[in-house]
Each structure stands twice: as structure tokens, then as C-alpha cells.
Amino acid sequence: MRDKVKYAVLLAAVLCFAFSCTPDSKFDFEASGEGTGSYVTPSRTVSPDVRQVLIYVAGGYNSLDNYLQEDIEDLRSSVLPSRRTSTDPVLLVLSRLTAQYRDYQTPSPAALVRLYSDENGRAVSDTLRVWDGTRPLCQDATLREALEYVNQSFPGNRYGMVFSSHATGWLPYRYYFNPSVFESAAWAASPRRSRSGQAPWRDRPEVFPPLDADDGMPAVKSVGMDDGDPVYEMELEDFADAIPMHLDYLLFDACLMGCVEVAYELRDVADLVGFSPTEVLADGFNYKTITGHLMKSSPDPVAVCREYFEAYDKQSGESRSATISVVDTRKMDDLAQVCRSLFGKYRSQIAVLPGRNVQGYFRNNRHYFYDLQDILVQSGITESEEASLQSALDQCIVYKAATPSFLRIAIKTYSGLSMYLPSMGSTYLDTFYRSHVAWNQATSLVQ
């Protein structure tokens, strides 16, 4: 395990681009020719009969670039699909890493790469498209453009995605890093930034501290950050809107995404969503075995999550730290109905519930992620109401597991989903939650 802590932010960025369609023997893409970006080579990229497409998005150009690069190298050494027929599954990597640009002064390019095994069993990285580094990867417009390219070039009947980077669940853009800035009168009085815009506080470096806060803990992996000046980010609703195809599954190798707010927002995007209510140690999923689970005829995203948990559960000390859940978003309506009724009945109790009495999944006083079920239990719901809640949770949670603790967080109860606790929030967060969180529109947690 590493020795630094990486926090999380859901981000985005726009791109201008060059183009390459040259098979490379390694991931470090080197465009052999440049084009307009709209240029495509149909004979190589269009496969109308593809059975399934797996997209790994490494939201790099941030403090996790070394880990993400290792993950890509592990993918290269995994069981790769072939390109013998037009129906072979497709494995794509979309990334923007800082490997050659450690000082963040020279923007790093982004690339879409197809990994496959040639006739001799050797791993090949085929660079399909390269975007110029002056416009980062992690913005909804850019992510949408890349995924639309995938959707058009590989019109498979099944898609899945693994997203790995920094993330902060449902929280507003950049809130996690310095809440006091957002809660200040000056911020509250200023117009809200445009969606997926640049950081309005980018000229004040003291406002947002570095991600590498060293507190002696193992490193944690947090969905997408393009660091530099300015920093670009994407909020949850922007991220969901940026995905043009329906996904069989969406797995987050990222911190704090295991919220009911995230699962509900993605209910029309992906059938299964796998994520962690707590942070995620930086090694994350096992990318040497992930293709064996996801690229077979019947992909098994639950196996990826189970393997992740079991690997960490075998560790000792603070390295034995993992929480994971897989939610069937198609079955969340009952949960929303049950919660709406309970939120209405126990509104006054929830409004004054002390956070110390509820299972939390956060560190460093970032008190925005509490156990959904425990919030209601501690608010005094009856046994029959708890049974109804449990039944609704059981319907939509396909798999869940948690170690006895996550770093220094004791996990005494675990429903599999975190949620905002209004009594531990703020007027700013309440306002954001009412207008930007679909879960609240369905359940009226915050009125």
C-alpha cells in the first residue's frame, strides 16, 4: 500500500483533438499522422456485429496517475479479446495520464485505445483517437464526445464501463475540498458557476488544498479529475447526461460513490451500478483478472466487486479496509416509495438527528455520507417499517460487503448505501440538494 491519501471529485473538461489510427506496441500512444478529429477509418473501427464493449475510463492527469497507469498495464497483461472476427468483444481504454508531464505545466493528451491480442497472443494497443492536451478529458462535453465515438464506431448490443479516478458522490462541484468557501456569504451571493465550468476560485490556491494530504494512512483512490490551472470537474447529473448509450453495468473504482443519490441518478443509464460508500484504497479493483469476469459471454460485474472485497478482507491492520455494493437500479422505485413515506413521517426526528448516533462513512469531518438505513432506524421507525425498508433494500442491492472498519472508521452496521443527513448539512447543501438531486425529487428528504 502507498502512504498518501487521495480525496475525490466528480469532474469534466472539453477537448480539441488530433487523430491517430495506428496500432502501437505499447500504451504510450505516438500519433503517426494527424487529421481533423472527425476523420474515422471505418474498416478498422466500425464493427456492427460486436457482442459487447467494455470501456475503462481512467480519469487521469491528477494525483492518481501512477496508480491508473499501473491499472492499464495490468489490463495489458490480462486475458485480452482477439480481433479475429467482427463479433469479438471490444476492450477500450480512455485516459489522460501525466506520466510524461509530472509538473502539470505541459498539458497531457488524452487517448482512446483498443487493447487486443494478436494472432501470436501478444498484447496490442491500437490508438484509435488522440485529443490535444489543451482541453482536458474530464468534462461532460468531452466524455460525451468520446463515448458517442465509441457508440458509433462499435455499435455493440452490450456495453459496460469501469470508471476509475477521484470522486465525491453527489456533492456539488469542488465542495468537498473546502466547504467553508461555499458556505461563505461571498460565495452564496455570487451566481452559481455554469455547469461543468472552470473553478471560480482557481486563482486562490489556499481555497482548495492539495489532494496529497499525508496522514499516515494507506493511499485511497477516489470519478474524474483533470488537475492543473484551471481544474475542471463534473457534477453527478452532468456525468449521467454525458453517457449516450445504455450500460449493462457501471463500476466505480472511486471514493464515496456508494450513495443512494448516485444510484438513483444513474437508474436510466446503467442496470447495475457497483461502488463504495467509503473511500477506496488506491490499488482498487484487480485489473489483471477483471476482463475474465467482464468480457465473457455473460459479464459478471458482481464477481469483480466480490473479488475486490475478498482481496482486502484478507489483509491486516488498516489495509483491511473495503466497502462495496452492487445495486440493480431498475428496482429502486420501491425503495424511493418506502423512503418518501418514512421521510415524511419522521421529518422532525431526521431534522435534529445527531450525526454521532448514525453510522458514517467519511473521514476528516466530511460529514455528508451516512448509512441510509441507520438514519431511519435512529430516527425511531417501527419494526414493521424497518422490515418494509429492509425488503426494499434487499430488492435492489444485489451484493454488499464491508470489512469491520475502513481505516479508522468503525463499521457497526452496513445497509450498502449512504445518504445525506440534513441535520449534519447546511443551507447551501439543502438548496443544492433540492434542485440538483433526483433522489430528493423522488423522496422529498429535503423540503
CATH number where 290 lies = 3.40.50.11970
Contact 261, 436 (CB under 8 A): no
Residues 226, 204: Cα–Cα separation, whole Å: 17
pLDDT at 45: 58
Residue 445 has pLDDT above 80, yes or no: yes
Q: What is the pLDDT of residues 398-442, one digit of tens each?
A: 999 999 999 999 999 999 999 999 999 999 999 999 999 999 999
Residue 43 placed within a domain:
yes
The Cβ of residue 440 has, within 10 Å, a number of other Cβ atoms equal to: 22
CA dist list (Å): 233 to 96, 131, 137, 150, 277: 14, 18, 10, 22, 20
Specify if 221 maps to a domain: no
pTM for the model: 0.84
- 390 is a domain residue: no
137-177: per-residue pLDDT in tens?
777 888 899 999 999 999 888 999 999 877 889 998 888 88
Residue 211 in any domain: the answer is no
Domains contained in the chain, number = 1
Question: Residue 312's domain spans which residues?
Answer: 17-169+232-328
Task: Determine, yes or no, domain membership for 137.
Answer: yes
Mean pLDDT, residues 39-50: 56
pLDDT of res. 50: 85
Whether the per-residue pLDDT at 23 is higher than 60: the answer is no
In the prediction, which pLDDT does 208 show?
Answer: 36
The DSSP 8-state label assigned to residue 194 in this structure reads: P
Q: Is the pLDDT of residue 99 over 70?
A: no
pLDDT of 429 reads 94
| CA dist 303 → 166, 306, 309, 325, 415 (Å) | 23, 5, 10, 11, 19
- Work out the mean pLDDT of the chain and round it to a whole number: 80
> Does the pLDDT of residue 330 top 60, yes or no?
yes
Q: What angle do CA 185, 186, 192 make, to 5 degrees?
A: 105
In a domain? residue 131: yes
260 is a domain residue: yes
Residue 209 pLDDT exceeds 50: no
49 in a domain, yes or no?
yes
